[in-house]
Amino acid sequence: MTTAATRFRAKIFEPPCRDGRLVNAMSVDVEDYFQVQALAGAIHRDDWEAQPRRVEVNTNRILELFDRHGVKATFFTLGWVAERHPGLVRRIVAEGHELASHGSEHRRADHQDAEGFRQDVRRSKSLLEDLTGEAVRGYRAPTFSIGHHNMWAFDILASEGYAYSSSVYPVKRDNYGMPDAPRFAFFPLEGMAFEEYPITTVQVGGRNLPGGGGGFFRLFPYGLSRAAIARVNGKDRKPAIFYFHPWEIDPRQPRVRPLGLKSRFRHYLNLGKTVGRLERLLADFAWDRMDRVFRPGQ
């Protein structure tokens, strides 16, 4: 049986090292608490303007955290946020981080047709570049929503001037995932240089398990995340990709109601522990921006 992993061509490159350690890619999905998939059934996007915004203060805390640890990262920023907080976007770039696109309005890529997706990624790229004067080369789909049914999204991203995506999660989840995708950087388009950098997984018993942040980082003890990244660096000799959101460091965010048990669990679990775990993560491994880890010199 031919799988996605066998169809796609792997990216072969020498992983960057620092002080004898592989350098991993740190990333932040810049969106506010009321824009996440888990709360979509409780807060309609037409009501976003009425919600108290907390994304700027939380992202500023992340910037200060990175500065203390000497870490640079890639910030996949929502166009909706950039329009309302242009100073935050300029600060991200001014402090040496990579600015990338998270789309315009946090619409899942697999919930759009091709033309709607094109307009979404074109608008967000243009907005971010106009605000900062810096080229935007990276994109991450909301909720990792590029998979077998919308592979055309890669062609559109390449044609709109993006160089890479980090939109595939090679796991099986109830609302996203492409478990047979390659676990490490690959070229999704035949004959083209456009690249995909999947979120980090570890393979246990032939099954891919999460290892790159998000809810996994909050749900389980920190030691499991540390072991996952160490295994990818050591056994696989590959850089890991870690991601999290500004709302994940904010235990004082408003509690949205009504909300189902699963959504409440996913969104609010261990918010008060995230910063402490991030402090350990930033100290335990070497980190840098996505572009400098996977596209050095380009």
Confidence band of 284 (pLDDT split at 50, 70, 90): very high
- pLDDT score, position 265: 85
Cβ contacts of 117 within 8 Å, gap of 6 or more: 109, 150, 153, 156
- Reported as a single tens digit per residue, the pLDDT across 215-271 is 999 999 999 999 999 999 999 999 999 999 999 999 999 999 888 888 888 898 999
Region 18-41: mean pLDDT is 95
pLDDT at site 2: 57
**Domain range list for the chain:** 17-294
Inform me whether the pLDDT recorded for 190 exceeds 80.
Answer: yes
- Residue in this structure with the two tokens 């995708």, named with its chain if needed: 181
231 near 202, Cβ under 8 Å? yes
Which of 266, 272, 277, 267 lies closest to 252, judged by CA? 272
Percent of the chain with pLDDT over 70: 99
Helix (H) or strand (E) holding 100: strand 98-101
- Per-residue pLDDT tens digits for 125-146: 999 999 999 999 999 999 999 9
Query: Which of 263 and 60 is assigned the larger pLDDT?
Result: 60
CATH topology assigned to domain 17-294:
TIM Barrel (3.20.20)
Q: What's the token pair of residue 286?
A: 């070497």
**Does residue 46 surpass a pLDDT of 90?**
yes
pTM: 0.96
Cβ atoms of 92 and 99 within 8 Å: the answer is: yes
pLDDT at residue 1, rounded to an integer: 46
Query: Could you check whether the bond before residue 142 is cis, i.e. omega within 30 degrees of 0?
Result: no
Query: pLDDT digits over 47-59, tens only?
Result: 999 999 999 999 9
Q: What is the C-alpha to C-alpha distance for residues 25 and 183, in angstroms, rounded to an integer?
A: 15
